[in-house]
Amino acid sequence: MNSGLTMSNLGEEILWDDILFEMSTGQSVLIIGPDLIEFEGDRTLFQMLCDELKKNEKAQGQLDLPKSEFFFHNEELLQLSPTGRDSFLYTFYKEFYEQRSEYDDPFCKIAKLPFQLIISFFPDSRLRKIFDRENRSYQFSYYNLTSKEPNGITRITSEKPLIYNIMGDVDAGDMVFTFDHLFTYLQRILASRPIPEQIVTVLQEAKSFLFLGVRFEKWYMQVLLRILFTGNNGNLLKYSFPQHHGDSDVSTFIARRLKLNSLEIGPLEFLNELHRRSGERRLLHKPKRRRVFISYSHKDMILAGKIHEYLEQCGITVIRDEISMKFGGKIKKFVESIQSMDVVVALISENSLRSHWVGSEILSAIHAGSVRLVPVLLDSVIWEKQIANEVLGLVAEKLLEIRRQIAISNKKNPLHKAIELAEEEECWLYFGHNFHLILSEIRNVKALDFVKLGVEEGTQVLYRDIAG
């Protein structure tokens, strides 16, 4: 547990002005670990994971769980039984981390801070999802243990920071959680496959390092820290804010050997204060709310409403048309709206493919240039060969009916101009002339298939696509 000291009586020990300046100029690196959170009963995240493993029947055949020696709490690693396989454990780890909502609040604060490099000892995607939710641009990579694929890292900046999972990625089935994994990992990171050059450059240019919830008692952690500091011989600020699980004297000794200023205050307390001071200096990231226009047939209104509600809850501004809008007002409104949108989400169904309004909205997105079109497939009609002929046949029928009504109106009152009918005729003509373009665009851009994904998962994927 922490000693009870507070930020107020430790303020003089922390060079706040230096930290804030170096953070704002891309010269500060944040390193985060599982001890960022203090769990009930002073338990660590690894202890909680072990408790969950003991309850899982399938895990018993992989780890020989009744034998406590298969858990190594100091190293926070597991040992497979002679016949154990790690495939099941990747799934278990992923599900375990997906439940760790306790980290959401601190991760939200981290997502607003202007670090250009965040090195994470977490193997999961929670921090990335928080960045998505905060509408914060970023790039992601991880130490690849099993292959030599390109890391995909571009230039690392505060505008597009890098989240780097240094112990691997559970979603990719490529992470360190057993001794065998660790030995392979160290062998490669120390020799044949070092940390990517883009990260090394940032580490060498950094002037301050902030460690939140990182435990230094693990022997391999000291090896990794030596790697991180290699080539940077400057007068560095290196602050550590641990939870002090276990032997605090050992932690203090290791921190001194590594020239870390280990302060007797919890990582969350420091993070909250850093967030507060960053706000005072106007350094916090302020997400731009993305603007999304949903184009749909009113026969698909219920689903459009669900998508609208979900996206709004995620911080996205959503525009939908109004049923009662007159033709002239509607045309002007959707044209102006779409030109100012970031994304047009078009719900594509048998209903919407026969709607000239949806067609006109899709065409406005196509011609706007800067607006991204995201088709959402509600059925498979878009792929049917006869759909073009069917829709163009419908257009011809509509035009005949409208022209019949115009003729009747003119016969009754030659001085009266059927303005709304004329505008509707113009819309159907425009739709018919451009339907093949609409069809081609929908078929050739990346679409989300709600038939395969389902509404709930599809809506979540849609949000991530828009936010990313």
Q: How many domains does the chain have?
A: 2
Do residue 183 and residue 332 come from a single domain? no
Residue 50 lies in a domain: yes
d(CA 124, CA 117): 17
Residue 341 lies in a domain: yes
> According to DSSP H, which parts of 155-195 are helical?
179-187
Do residue 261 and residue 309 come from a single domain? no
Residue 2 lies in a domain: no
Other Cβ atoms less than 10 A from the Cβ of 328: the count is 11
- In 3D space, the residue among 20, 1, 18, 2 whose CA is nearest the CA of residue 273 turns out to be 20
Q: pLDDT for 360-390, tens place per residue?
A: 899 988 888 778 899 999 999 999 999 999 9
> According to DSSP H, which parts of 160-214 are helical?
179-187, 197-205
Give the CATH number of the domain where residue 316 resides. Answer: 3.40.50.10140
Do residue 161 and residue 76 come from a single domain? yes
Q: Residue 1 has what pLDDT?
A: 42
Domain boundary among the residues 280, 314, 347 is at 280
Local confidence band at 301 (pLDDT 50, 70, 90 cut-offs): very high
**Ramachandran class of 169: left when φ > 0, alpha when ψ lies in -120 to 50, beta otherwise:** beta
Over 50: is that where the pLDDT of 150 sits?
yes
- Least confidently predicted of 334-338, 392-396, 429-433: 334-338
d(CA 142, CA 169): 6
Residue 452 lies in a domain: yes
The DSSP 8-state label assigned to residue 288 in this structure reads P
Residue 6 or 274, more confident: 274
Q: Residue 3 has what pLDDT?
A: 45
The DSSP 8-state label assigned to residue 321 in this structure reads -
Tell me what the mean pLDDT of segment 322-329 comes to.
47
Residue 1 lies in a domain: no
Are residues 280 and 427 in contact, defined by beta-carbon separation less than 8 angstroms? Answer: no
Q: Residue 22 has what pLDDT?
A: 95
Q: Residue 116 has what pLDDT?
A: 95
Do residue 218 and residue 325 come from a single domain? no
Domain boundary among the residues 231, 250, 280 is at 280
Tell me what the mean pLDDT of segment 308-324 comes to.
79
Do residue 324 and residue 245 come from a single domain? no
User: Average per-residue pLDDT in the chain?
Assistant: 85
Residue 337 lies in a domain: yes
Three-class SS string for 16-85? HHHHHHHHHCCCEEEEECHHHCCCHHHCCHHHHHHHHHHHCHHHHHHHCCCCHHHEECCCCEECCCCCCC
Over 60: is that where the pLDDT of 68 sits?
no
- Residue that has been written with the tokens 């709930």 in this structure: 456
- Percentage of the chain exceeding pLDDT 70: 85
* CA dist 186 → 87, 189, 192, 194 (Å): 21, 5, 10, 10
> Domain of 419?
291-467
Tell me what the mean pLDDT of segment 98-110 comes to.
93
Do residue 223 and residue 199 come from a single domain? yes
Do residue 159 and residue 135 come from a single domain? yes
Phi, psi of 357 (to 5 degrees): -65, -50
Q: Residue 74 has what pLDDT?
A: 73
Q: Residue 324 has what pLDDT?
A: 33
Do residue 151 and residue 237 come from a single domain? yes
Residue 445 or 233, more confident: 445
For 51-73, b/e burial (b = at least 16 CB within 10 A) is eebeeeeebeebbbbeeeebbbe
Q: pLDDT for 72-97, tens place per residue?
A: 667 888 888 777 778 888 889 999 99
Over 50: is that where the pLDDT of 395 sits?
yes
Local confidence band at 467 (pLDDT 50, 70, 90 cut-offs): confident
Q: Residue 271 has what pLDDT?
A: 95
Q: pLDDT for 243-275, tens place per residue?
A: 655 555 666 666 666 677 777 788 999 999 999
Do residue 211 and residue 322 come from a single domain? no
Domain boundary among the residues 239, 258, 280 is at 280
Assigned token pair, 301: 């209104």
* CA dist 68 → 59, 65, 73, 397 (Å): 14, 7, 10, 77
d(CA 100, CA 43): 14
Are residues 78 and 89 in contact, defined by beta-carbon separation less than 8 angstroms? Answer: yes
Strands 174-175 and 168-169: antiparallel
Do residue 101 and residue 235 come from a single domain? yes
Q: pLDDT for 217-245, tens place per residue?
A: 777 887 888 888 877 666 788 888 876 55
Residue 286 lies in a domain: no
Do residue 384 and residue 342 come from a single domain? yes
Q: pLDDT for 187-222, tens place per residue?
A: 999 887 889 999 999 999 999 999 999 887 777 887
Do residue 256 and residue 324 come from a single domain? no
Threshold 0.95, pTM exceeds:
no
d(CA 156, CA 119): 13
Q: Residue 263 has what pLDDT?
A: 77
